[in-house]
Amino acid sequence: MHTPYGLYVVVLSFFVQIQHVASVTSSGNATYAIIEKDVVIIGGGASGAHAAVRLREDYGKSIVIVEKQEDLGGHVETYIDPVSGNPYDYGVNSYTEYGGAEEFFTRFNISLQTPVRPTLTTTYADFQTGEVLDGYEAPPSANVTAGLQKYLEICEQYEDLILPSYVNFPETNAPEDLLLSFGEFVTKYGLEAIVPRVFQVTGLGLGNIVDELTLYVMQAFGAPIVRTFLGQKNSWVPTTKRNQDLYDNIAALLGNDVLFRSTVVESQRTNDSVQVLVQDSEGKKTLIKAKRLLISSSPTAENLATFDLDQTEQDIFATWGIGAVFAGIANHPSLPVNYSIVNYPSSVVPDNWLELPQTPFIGRFEYLGDSNFRVLATGTDHYDEKQAQALAQAAFEKLAAAGTVADTQSQPLEFPAFAAHIGIHPHVPVEKLQSGFYKQLYALQGRRSTFYTGGAWAADFTTILWEYNNQYLLPKLLESFV
């Protein structure tokens, strides 16, 4: 599933261009602004925005964020209904209690509450045929709770190896449980009843989770989130019911230290400093000279294409398999209010809970409120938003043709909001894990004045990423200034 980088010719081209940039700036004839900072941060998602605040406000380092979107927050996506004015979060659903997360919300005056979900009726259907899965039996709630408790006990045995960082992950002889496919792991421990819960809550981004390594399923649905389901820890949303509020407050604090709608077009990194040429949506270019570079965006080929990767970096980043998740708001009068229509293959009947859809697929259409439904899609590494929307439309038409939803009257779905989360849950095959991959990966931290944060370096959950920053990334980055 991974995409080879093959950047040899591209890197050479960038090297020539960067030499030109350096000569222009050194001669004083630059046609773009030049700013100097201690740290330039690429990406203002959960981990990048958090690191920026802590570096500038708590450690006195000058920073600038380069953010390609028009706001901070990354996978946080909030849609405001144009009629009612009600907010609907269709990206990040809630925040899991972990580390010092609550304190970080407090410093931005974000009050929190337990999520309140609408009571929905669930219809299970095969989105390949559109037919309702008559005879399907969901796992009994008591069995799910008992399974989650047992699963938590197992997760806790390995928690310090994978959370909030991979620093303690063994170079060789990784625990056998983590290298089993999740299907094998579930069968070994008799945990079949938890599979639908794991899949529907956070597992969609992994595709068919029974075929994925248990290590990565534990990253997507591990001890911290299981504790919330068992009532041992909290999960939160802002009392405003708008997850974007936190990041809007961060943006207001950082002010001009965020370059929105901007991307890196060229870069040059040495052991002492970095230079990053940035272009905004209007074509204006800015040269950022910094002592350190912090990359928080996902290490996809597209995101890393404008960085002068050397052979060591290319070899490591080319190893990763990259997932693609799409989340959006869908509107259509045929979608049933107060329902969640969930996709499973017909082979799941009556209680074959290890049977899951094959990638690419639509996970569900889920009623949020007003006329809005949340649609979740899982694609391949080459999928884009148009393909994900087409996949949703095809599934919807099959549901209508089978009578599972009302006749569409040839009216297509509307998508007033839609977002691509490319590069979610990066993962590598077993043979790489057994060859010291994470030691090699973490050896990149600080190399060529470059540091990394984000979901590729820890569990892809906001509060866990913050703790990764606190415990690992920030101490290491700050130490490099000494």
Assess if residue 127 is contained within a domain: no
Closest CA to 370 of 50, 37, 108, 88: 88
**pTM check: above 0.85:** yes
Kindly list the strands in the beta sheet with 95-96, ordered across the sheet, starting from the edge strand earlier in the chain: 95-96, 235-238, 112-113
- Give the angle 323-229-425 at the CA atoms, nearest 5°: 10
Rounded Cα distance between 430 and 438, Å, is 12
Assess if residue 349 is contained within a domain: no
Structure tokens that stand for 235 in this block: 């999960």
Assess if residue 351 is contained within a domain: no
Tens of pLDDT, residue by residue over 110-145, are 999 999 888 999 999 999 999 999 999 999 999 999
Q: What is the CATH number of the domain that holds 53?
A: 3.50.50.60
Assess if residue 307 is contained within a domain: yes
Question: How far is CA 29 from each of CA 18, 39, 181, rounded to the nearest angstrom?
Answer: 15, 25, 58
Q: What is the pLDDT of residue 300?
A: 85
Assess if residue 439 is contained within a domain: yes
Rounded Cα distance between 441 and 437, Å, is 6
Structure tokens that stand for 257 in this block: 């230290």
| Strand ranges, E, within 179-320 | 235-238, 258-259, 262-269, 274-280, 285-295
Q: Residue ranges of the chain with pLDDT lower than 50?
A: 1-28
Structure tokens that stand for 481 in this block: 């200034």
The number of distinct structural domains making up the chain is: 1
Assess if residue 278 is contained within a domain: yes
Domain membership of residue 58 as a residue range: 33-73+240-320+429-480
Assess if residue 294 is contained within a domain: yes
Assess if residue 222 is contained within a domain: no
Tens of pLDDT, residue by residue over 198-239, are 999 988 878 899 999 999 999 999 999 999 999 999 999 999
Q: What is the pLDDT of residue 155?
A: 98
H or E element at residue 424: strand 414-427
Q: What is the pLDDT of residue 7?
A: 33
